[in-house]
Structure 1
Amino acid sequence: MNLNESGHGFQAGDIVYVIYRNPHTQNVANVQSAAVVHDPDNPEALSIFLYDTYYPLNDEVAVYASETEAEEAYQYYFGDALEG
């Protein structure tokens, strides 16, 4: 279940899964766990903390409740075995 589409809320401390593209090699993507945290620049907002970086938690980010759901989405969109 893509949490953004389902309307489920997030709470700081939740562990979620995203499909992450390697910024150095754009043709490499994988499913990665991430933490939902309070945005350090705006404590009222939530962010995703992934690879020591904060990413805005908004409708542009597909976030999944389980690794299995994220892997299924990966297969749907990319059709290849997971990299990494």
Structure 2
Amino acid sequence: MEISQEYASYNPGDVVYVFYRNPHIQNVANIQEAAVVKNPENPNELAIFLYETYYPLTNEMAVYQSEADAMQAFEQYFGYE
């Protein structure tokens, strides 16, 4: 797993915003607040803790430092609020 330089600036305890798709209705996405934590499977890596689940923090994840940034990107990608 490769962590970009952008994600290298995150620290455990940081609050971030991510896009989250409803697992039951795939065409529904929301912006969700999440926490940056140490990955329990690999303490040398960071993870996003969201809905009682750990997701490795990788380049494949859209992570935003502010809700406003996430909302702007969300509108750009999904075209609705």
Structures share a fold, TM > 0.5? yes
CA separation in 1, counterparts of 2:73 and 2:47? Answer: 21
* Residue in 1 that maps onto 2:80: 80
* AA of the residue aligned to 1:20: Y
TM score, norm. by length of structure 2: 0.90
Percentage of pairs with the same residue: 56
* Residue in 2 that maps onto 1:37: 37
Q: 1:45 to 1:6 in 2, by over 3 A?
A: closer
> How far 1:7 sits from its partner (Å)?
2.3
Q: Contact between 2:4 and 2:58, CA under 8 Å: does it hold in 1?
A: no
Q: Contact between 2:36 and 2:48, CA under 8 Å: does it hold in 1?
A: yes
* AA of the residue aligned to 2:6: G
Paired residue secondary structure (2:59): coil
Structure 2 residue ranges without an equivalent (≥5) = none
* Residue in 2 that maps onto 1:19: 19
CA RMSD across the alignment = 1.6
